[in-house]
Structure 1
């Protein structure tokens, strides 16, 4: 797989590698991290690079759903006084459209466990740790 310094990734080649090396089954967990509007579509931290990976994540959701794998999506969701705003611009306020999953994933909401996070590391959330301990035998992280 070729990755250049401008982050141009040959996703087709990556997709072929994934199909050869990852077997998704009912013991798998797909973790989707921060594929919400505030990072993909609009807002101070939105990036076209994040938006560009959405189709690949949708495909991973479909494969996981078809295999009866657990799907967990983390969405950034902050209170107005979040300590994170000392380091980053205000973004993904709780209840704002920025903190919602992108529309492309919303159509799969009945298959997704949504966990709101207010930290840069989703795996520090208590709800995440409980879910991981309960479910994970084999995990896939995307986003």
Structure 2
């Protein structure tokens, strides 16, 4: 069976704009509206770039959805590349603690975790009440 999220993240990674670091990342998220992708877009004025996960979330919201069912992050590195701290918070805004986050590279999916494991004691809307 074809892994649609993996294929989508790999394809969008190739479109990343990473002239400074050379480190390209692709992300794909599944929601009720379908699969949404994003890639990192660097900027000479660090840290004004956009992470792949943030781009995928923007695509999802633009499609009219606000709930993430699954996440896959793809980067070609020696070890699995997890979302940065800021992206963990962004993902937590739309993904519950049990949402699966898969990390993949050239060897395929090598790590599977959950939002709760990536961001324990996440800050959210409940703290603002």
TM-score normalised over the length of structure 1: 0.29
Larger Rg: 1
Give the structure with the higher percent helix. Answer: 1
Q: Which has the higher contact order (CA 8 A, sep 6+)?
A: 1
Task: Give the number of the structure whose residues are more often strand, by fraction.
Answer: 2
